[in-house]
Amino acid sequence: MLLIRLLILQLLLVLIEFINTELGLQCHCYCNGADETRGMRIHVVVFLKCRSAIHSVQLSRSHVDWYGVDEVYLYSDATTSKIARTVTQKLGFSKASSSGTRLHRGFVEEASLDDKPPQTTHIVFVVHGIGQKMDKDRIIKNTGMLREAVRKMEEKHFAEQTEEHVEFLPVEWRSKLALDGDTVESITPDKVRGLRDLLNSSAMDIMYYTSPLYRDEITNGLTQELNRLYSLFCSRNPEFESRGGKVSIISHSLGCVITFDIMTGWDPVRFCLQEHRDQLKGEDLHWTTHEERHLLEEVQLTRQRLRELQDQLQGLKAAKPTPFPTLTFKVENFFCMGSPLAVFLALRGIRPGNTGDQDHIMPKSICRRLFNIFHPTDPVAYRLEPLVLKHYSNIAPVQIHWCNTISPTPYDEIRPSHLSVSKSAASDTENGSSPSSSPVLATRHYGESITSLGKASILGAASISKGIGGILFSRFSRSPSLPSAVDSGIGDSEDSQSTFAFSAISPSSLFDAAVEMEHRIDYELREGLVESRYWSAVTSHTAYWTSHDVALFLLTFIYKQQSTDQTQNTSPM
């Protein structure tokens, strides 16, 4: 019997300890004595703990009270919570036990001075495409999902990278633009208003960007936001630039085209003005008299001298810091996801060349490496490699490895593989008018002035963003006044890559099927085994953000590039 009483007493003590620690009450028990006949009489005294908060912080809709180092409580300031807190306190309960939520730091190990994340060595700007007007915070959510996937892959595959850290920063450029105000809204009919509002908030961005009136506002808006975020990051991380920090850009959908145009300096208005000047210059051929022809020759010599002076001036400007609104940083890697960039370039006149250099599309002086990531059923995405080498339309893009693949083959060691005959035949039938198989256009030269401006653009590309003229329609073919690169056998020389002209497509016989890409550009995600292609066509355009395969692919090239730079810096001269 005594053993049972002792057990009851022990349970009572445990209950009192729980009341003291969890309910915020103070309990005491005492015994008034015991004998063999009456047994033990235990009295429990419970009274309110009246401690006041050591420190308090008022938030927007709540407040936090500190009662001790390990006693921190969060209280809601809603009306119902205040009423419940008042009633329970009248009944004798403490403030913490009535409506407070105890906060825990969640750390299980003791902190140390060395226990801190490495400094950021590489920042990646994430640029959205269309549809951001519907949900202006969408790019922040997408970047958060991408960041979460990257962190999982980083812990699994790059745990040894303790001295490097990659940070992803969202770039929201759409909400700050005024564009046409509410003009489009005022002309939108009321029938099926929901569908019309959806189109106005998404597809309308494409029409805005193709409009000469609003295009500059979009490019300037994105440029300013990129420069603002970079300046803000550097101000908060003053050692980033001194430590050789790198910057890459990830763009999605239409954002790929806008970012590409900002980096290369594409300006269709300037091109139209230059073409108009060339047409006016062609009218001078109607002069017939000897004196008029002599004056025309003098005018042409003067124009040629003026172009030479403009080239010299452009070269001097290239040595100066890049002016607003160009980017204030050098881009290491440009990752395109679900990109229609190839279609825009094809419609601008870019056609396949005879070398496998990335410079045919994106000069390496502007961006070290270009990547085109796409899902095979993404209806918005197109390939870029056939615009560099025509026969790559029959070569399969590089397959992105599964994130759980054991010992995958390095991407740069994967050899090109031809598409199957049936697939190639089907693609030729279905995509007869694709950019890679476009018919040969009639020869048309745009004049020496454009060619000279192209030379000046190469000089400006070294300072990023000066590629205004030659890069605009960079077909990377020889000038009409110079011998053909194929005929002269100097297609791989530096001079052949630095001289631009806007000539027509080279005949298909000039393309050498033995030429390979210097670096692969097209990278394709693998289809799921039980994936429906029709349903995937609806969801694939937005599936890149949560893909662990994409996250691992990004880290593979970012960390590889950083490792290569460190090896080059430490190697003996």
| Structural domain includes residue 307 | yes
Question: What is the pTM assigned to this prediction?
Answer: 0.61
Which residue among the candidates 99, 251, 253, 436 is catalytic per the annotation? 253
pLDDT confidence of residue 557: 94
Say if residue 129 is in the same domain as residue 96: no
Say if residue 393 is in the same domain as residue 253: yes
| Structural domain includes residue 196 | yes
- pLDDT tens digits, 138-149: 899 999 999 999
Single-letter amino acid code for the residue at 6: L
Say if residue 292 is in the same domain as residue 359: no
Say if residue 205 is in the same domain as residue 171: yes
Say if residue 147 is in the same domain as residue 207: yes
**Domain limits for position 309:** 269-317
CA 220 from centre of chain: 17
| Structural domain includes residue 42 | no
Say if residue 131 is in the same domain as residue 170: yes
User: CA dihedral in degrees (385, 171, 552, 161; nearest 10)?
Assistant: 120
Asked if residues 94 and 23 have their Cβ atoms less than 8 Å apart, the reply is yes
Say if residue 80 is in the same domain as residue 217: no
| Structural domain includes residue 189 | yes
Tell me how far apart the alpha carbons of residues 128 and 170 are, in angstroms, rounded to a whole number.
8
Asked if residues 72 and 102 have their Cβ atoms less than 8 Å apart, the reply is yes
Say if residue 137 is in the same domain as residue 277: no
- pLDDT tens digits, 523-532: 999 987 666 7
Say if residue 376 is in the same domain as residue 329: yes
**In the annotation, is 253 catalytic?**
yes
Tell me how far apart the alpha carbons of residues 198 and 476 are, in angstroms, rounded to a whole number.
40
Domain count, the chain: 3
Asked if residues 396 and 423 have their Cβ atoms less than 8 Å apart, the reply is no
- Name the DSSP letter for residue 358: G
Tell me how far apart the alpha carbons of residues 14 and 9 are, in angstroms, rounded to a whole number.
9
For the sheet containing 367-374, what is the strand order?
166-171, 122-127, 246-252, 331-337, 367-374, 522-524, 398-399
| Structural domain includes residue 152 | yes
Last residue within a domain, chosen from 105, 131, 147 = 105
| Structural domain includes residue 425 | no
Last residue within a domain, chosen from 44, 76, 105 = 105
Say if residue 243 is in the same domain as residue 284: no
Beta strands, E only, 412-537: 522-524
Which of these, 444, 544, 541, 414, lies nearest to 130 by C-alpha position? Answer: 541
**Per-residue tens of pLDDT for the chain, all 573 residues:** 667 766 776 676 666 665 555 554 555 555 555 444 444 555 555 444 456 788 888 888 888 888 887 788 888 888 888 888 887 777 667 776 667 788 877 777 777 777 777 889 999 999 999 877 777 788 999 999 999 999 999 999 988 887 888 999 999 998 888 887 778 888 889 888 888 887 877 788 889 898 888 898 999 999 999 999 999 999 999 999 999 999 999 999 999 999 999 999 888 877 666 665 665 555 545 545 777 777 888 888 888 888 788 777 777 765 554 444 589 999 999 999 999 999 999 998 899 988 889 999 999 999 999 999 999 999 999 999 999 999 999 999 999 999 998 889 999 899 988 886 544 444 444 443 333 333 333 333 333 333 333 333 333 333 333 333 333 334 333 333 333 333 333 334 333 333 333 333 344 434 566 788 989 999 999 987 666 777 788 889 999 999 999 999 999 999 876 555 555 554 444
Last residue within a domain, chosen from 105, 128, 143 = 105
Identify the residue whose tokens are 């962190």: 151
| Structural domain includes residue 336 | yes
Say if residue 404 is in the same domain as residue 524: yes
| Structural domain includes residue 540 | yes
Say if residue 134 is in the same domain as residue 235: yes
3-class secondary-structure state, position 246: strand
